């Protein structure tokens, strides 16, 4: 590598790393417990407590669950109803004062599908604090965009680090740790080694993090294009005053794609549908297809199917990237691997900051020493 090219890559690596390091440390420190958020919620008592039901017990109608949710929060309206693929006996309801109310005031509650009994609030406790810090630092959409930018800089720092490390490995054995050298050299070797170990994982997590940060932008594009086209034949129709039966809505949606189950229902007027329609989002039963959904638009008054389509590729990328970002595809073994790699990344970030601080101090000491020598011998004639 030519000296000028190396200097350019070195500057890119230094400044992308320095600008993003503090925020990346925040992302890693908050992301680490989020990998185990299900287990932590259960241990701390924030997970819903489901009753045990006899095999073959009949579930109540969705309309009964909906009535129970409204009775639990009088004066509210239903926004969404969702199902956890790992807990089929639980139905999650999202209620708020109106469909246009602040999303932060939405109440998310779990209900027993067999008894309509509320079994616990969702999205509460310390994991919610961690999630907000991780996604937007309590700054809303601007915070998400900023974190997305930091994730992009992180990816640039990784790529530039690889470019710089490649010629360096030609002079040393791979993964060499020079213990006989100074502390700074030792930390540099560990920084490079752990950086190489985590490179693929870091690019995957960084890339999926950037995609997730701009998910709302992508959702807005889908609303203005694909969703608007699906609802166009019903433009101008008023919001239904009498909604169709939820059981009929879900039943009709499932008939459009046999073999798929509902992931969630969006009620008329919410961001995932139009003002006149229900939207039922269906999912498959494999590890991958259970993360992808297919929207079915249904008339809010009659429950008849109005239209159905596949999600665009960019929204599929969002849905696939969300669980991948937190290692939520392969159970506990993958979560443990994700956690170890997160710890390695924290060490890489911390060691990089340490190396920059030591180098900066060395440069300053050299400058002070040079100034002292110049003052002692006087200016040259």
Paired tokens of 264 = 């969630």
Cβ-based neighbours of 61, under 8 Å, separated by 6 or more: 246, 247
DSSP conformation letters of 26-86: HHHHHHHHHHTHHHHHHHHT-S--PPP--TTPPPPPHHHHHHHHHHHSTT-EEEEEEEETT
pLDDT tens digit at each of 381 positions of the chain = 677 888 898 899 889 988 999 999 999 999 999 999 989 998 998 888 888 888 888 999 999 999 999 999 999 999 999 998 888 889 999 999 999 998 889 999 999 999 999 998 888 889 989 999 999 999 988 999 999 999 999 999 989 988 887 666 666 665 566 666 777 777 777 777 788 888 889 999 999 999 999 998 998 999 889 998 988 888 878 788 899 999 999 999 999 998 899 999 999 999 899 999 999 999 988 877 888 899 999 999 999 999 999 999 999 988 888 888 888 776 888 899 999 999 999 988 888 888 888 877 776 666 666 655 565 565 554
Q: Can you tell me the distance from the alpha carbon of 314 to that of 251, in angstroms, rounded to the nearest whole number? A: 28
Q: Which of 95, 98, 93 is nearest to 116 (CA)?
A: 93
- Give the position of tokens 């459009």: 256
pTM: 0.81
Which DSSP category does 57 fall into?
P
Q: Which of 76, 110, 77 is nearest to 92 (CA)?
A: 110
What are the beta bridge partners of residue 61?
Answer: none
Three-class DSSP category at 220: helix
- Give the pLDDT confidence score for residue 381 in this predicted structure: 44
End-to-end CA distance of the chain: 41
- Axis crossing angle, helix 246-256 with helix 62-72, rounded to the nearest 10: 130
């Amino acid at each position: 590598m030519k000296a000028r090219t190396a200097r350019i890559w070195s500057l890119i690596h230094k400044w992308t790393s320095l600008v993003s390091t503090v925020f990346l440390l925040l992302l890693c420190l908050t992301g680490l417990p989020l990998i185990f958020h299900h287990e932590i919620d259960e241990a701390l008592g924030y997970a819903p407590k489901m009753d045990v039901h006899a095999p073959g017990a009949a579930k109540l109608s969705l309309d009964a669950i909906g009535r129970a949710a409204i009775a639990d929060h009088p004066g509210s309206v239903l926004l969404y109803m969702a199902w956890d693929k790992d807990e089929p006996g639980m139905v999650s309801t999202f209620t708020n004062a109106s469909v246009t109310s602040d999303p932060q005031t939405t109440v998310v509650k779990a209900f027993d599908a067999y008894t309509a009994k509320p079994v616990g609030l969702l999205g509460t406790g310390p994991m919610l604090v961690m999630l907000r810090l991780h996604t937007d630092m309590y700054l809303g959409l601007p915070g998400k965009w900023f974190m997305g930018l930091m994730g992009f800089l992180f990816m640039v720092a990784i790529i530039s680090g690889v470019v710089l490390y490649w010629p360096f490995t030609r002079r040393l054995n791979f993964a060499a740790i020079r213990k006989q050298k100074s502390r700074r050299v030792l930390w540099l070797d560990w920084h490079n080694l752990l950086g190489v170990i985590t490179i693929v994982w870091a690019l995957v997590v960084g890339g999926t993090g950037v995609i997730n940060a701009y998910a709302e932008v992508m959702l807005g594009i889908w609303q203005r294009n694909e969703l608007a086209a699906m609802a166009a034949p019903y433009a101008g129709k008023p919001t239904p005053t009498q909604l169709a039966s939820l059981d009929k809505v879900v039943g009709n949606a499932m008939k459009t794609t046999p073999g798929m189950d509902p992931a969630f229902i969006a009620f008329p007027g919410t961001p995932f549908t139009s003002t006149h329609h229900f939207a039922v989002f269906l999912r498959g039963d494999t590890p991958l297809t259970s993360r992808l959904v297919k929207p079915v638009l249904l008339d809010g008054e009659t429950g008849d199917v109005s239209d159905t389509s596949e999600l665009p590729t960019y929204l599929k990328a969002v849905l696939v990237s969300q669980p991948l970002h937190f290692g939520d595809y392969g159970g506990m073994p993958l979560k443990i691997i994700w956690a170890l790699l997160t710890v390695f990344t924290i060490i890489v970030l911390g060691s990089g900051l340490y190396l920059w601080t030591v180098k900066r101090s060395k440069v300053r000491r050299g400058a002070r020493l040079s100034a002292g020598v110049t003052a002692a011998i006087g200016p040259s004639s």
